Structures are given as structure tokens and as C-alpha cells.
């Protein structure tokens, strides 16, 4: 029996209080227990750590089957926040990944990062070679986004098509949630639909 495909996930510091335990790890563990995927999960709080783990992921054939990149970080348009003091711009990150993401699907599980201008996201895709980027254009509630991304991540891994994410958020069942969260996907080749609901809620907001 073939091994399930994989997700490479880096997760930043969500909380200033070190005792807080919020994490996307239970979502990945659930999907792994159900046999839907394998995953690599690494905590990262600095730009240097992020660059190190990205290089490890993209430099070794050993991780070639980990086709989905999951960036569980705070965010704002065009920017990812690893902690209260450490941030990285999408264009800088694209330079680290240049030409090494062919066919990969990248999910930014962070608030507002996909509110970036269309051209900035397409430039990111051109430089990295990734097939798609997707994520949220708004500040999103943790529980609501976790429910949505459980289905989304599984679809990104096993959908069999770059456009499977689009099929998900256009479906009668999930379209209202996608619109509520402001979910958006931009493809290297093709359209870039997005959710359109104007409502805003809190937790995964930028620091």
C-alpha cells in the first residue's frame, strides 16, 4: 500500500504567554491518524529558523512527497509574523525558495496574508515555481478556521488537482464558510477566486 502524501508545516509563536498551548498540531495529528496524510511539523520563532527549515524541506529528495507547505503563522498583507519581534516579507521568502517549489501547493494559515495585491502573489508564484498559494484575506477566528483548514489541508494533499481547493470553496457545503473567512487561492496558471464576505472576527490576527 502506497504511503500517503505529506504536509510540511512550520508554526510560529501564536501567544506572548509561553503557557498557552494553541497549535495546529492536533489538526495534523487527526488527519494522520485517519490515514489521510503524513506530516512534518516544526516550531519556528525566528527568521533564521524559518529559512533553515525551508531549506531542509526543499533541498532533499527525501521530502519530495511532502507537496503541501503549511505556514501556521500570524500574518498581515504580504507579511508573515513568526513572533512578536520577527517577521518576513513574502518577496524575501520567495527569494529563499526560488525555483524550488515546482508543483507544490502553499497554504498560509495566517490572517490577512492573502489580502496582498494580485501581482505580489503572482510574483511569488513565478519566483518559487509553486503551483498555487492560498489562505485568508481577513482576520479569522481560530475554531472556525481550524474546522475549515482540516478539510482544506486534506484536499490540498489528496485532491489530485491543483484546483481541488477551488472546488472545495465553491461547493454548496463549504462556500459560505470560505466566503465568511475570506479564503482566497491564486494559481500560477489560471484564475484567482476568493471569498467575498466583509465580516471580520479575531484570533489569528497579526501581532
Among 75, 108, 97, 87, CA closest to 44 = 87
Handedness of CA 41, 158, 156, 187 (dihedral sign): positive
Instruction: Indicate if the pLDDT at residue 123 is higher than 60.
Output: yes
Asked which of 61-65, 129-133, 135-139, 198-202 is least confident by mean pLDDT, the reply is: 198-202
Among 1, 161, 192, CA closest to 67 = 161
In a domain, 136, yes or no: yes
- Of residues 194 and 108, the one with the higher pLDDT is 108
The highest-confidence range among 14-28, 139-153, 193-207, by mean pLDDT, is 139-153
Q: Are 142 and 72 in contact (CB under 8 A)?
A: no
In a domain, 1, yes or no: no
pTM of the model: 0.87
Q: Find the domain containing 147 and state its range.
A: 6-187
Q: Which three cell numbers mark 115? A: 489580502
Write down the pLDDT at residue 202. Answer: 31
Write down the pLDDT at residue 203. Answer: 37
In a domain, 200, yes or no: no
136 phi, psi to nearest 5 deg: -115, 145
In a domain, 29, yes or no: yes
In a domain, 201, yes or no: no
pLDDT band for 194, please (50, 70, 90 cuts): low
In a domain, 192, yes or no: no
In a domain, 116, yes or no: yes
- Of residues 73 and 168, the one with the higher pLDDT is 73
Count the domains in the chain: 1
Instruction: Indicate if the pLDDT at residue 6 is higher than 70.
Output: yes
Mean pLDDT of 186-194: 71
CATH number, residue 41: 3.40.50.1460
Instruction: Indicate if the pLDDT at residue 207 is higher than 70.
Output: no
In a domain, 193, yes or no: no
Amino acid at each position: 500500500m502506497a504511503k500517503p502524501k505529506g504536509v510540511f508545516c512550520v508554526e510560529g509563536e501564536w501567544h506572548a504567554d509561553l503557557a498557552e498551548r494553541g497549535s495546529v498540531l492536533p489538526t495534523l495529528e487527526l488527519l494522520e491518524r485517519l490515514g489521510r496524510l503524513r506530516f512534518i511539523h516544526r516550531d519556528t520563532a525566528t527568521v533564521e529558523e524559518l529559512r533553515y527549515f525551508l531549506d531542509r524541506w526543499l533541498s532533499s529528495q527525501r521530502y519530495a512527497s511532502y507537496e503541501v507547505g503549511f505556514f501556521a503563522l500570524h500574518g498581515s498583507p504580504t507579511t508573515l509574523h513568526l513572533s512578536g519581534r520577527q517577521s518576513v516579507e513574502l518577496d524575501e521568502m520567495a527569494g529563499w525558495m526560488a525555483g524550488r517549489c515546482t508543483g507544490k501547493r502553499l497554504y498560509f494559515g495566517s490572517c490577512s496574508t492573502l489580502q496582498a495585491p494580485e501581482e505580489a502573489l503572482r510574483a511569488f508564484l513565478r519566483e518559487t515555481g509553486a503551483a498555487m498559494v492560498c489562505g485568508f484575506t481577513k482576520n479569522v477566528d481560530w475554531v472556525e478556521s481550524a474546522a475549515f483548514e482540516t478539510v482544506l489541508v486534506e484536499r490540498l494533499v489528496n485532491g489530485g488537482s491543483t484546483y481541488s481547493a477551488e472546488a472545495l470553496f465553491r461547493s454548496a457545503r463549504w462556500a459560505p464558510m470560505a466566503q465568511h473567512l475570506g479564503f482566497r487561492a491564486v494559481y500560477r496558471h489560471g484564475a484567482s477566486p476568493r471569498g467575498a464576505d466583509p465580516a471580520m472576527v479575531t484570533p489569528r490576527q497579526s501581532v
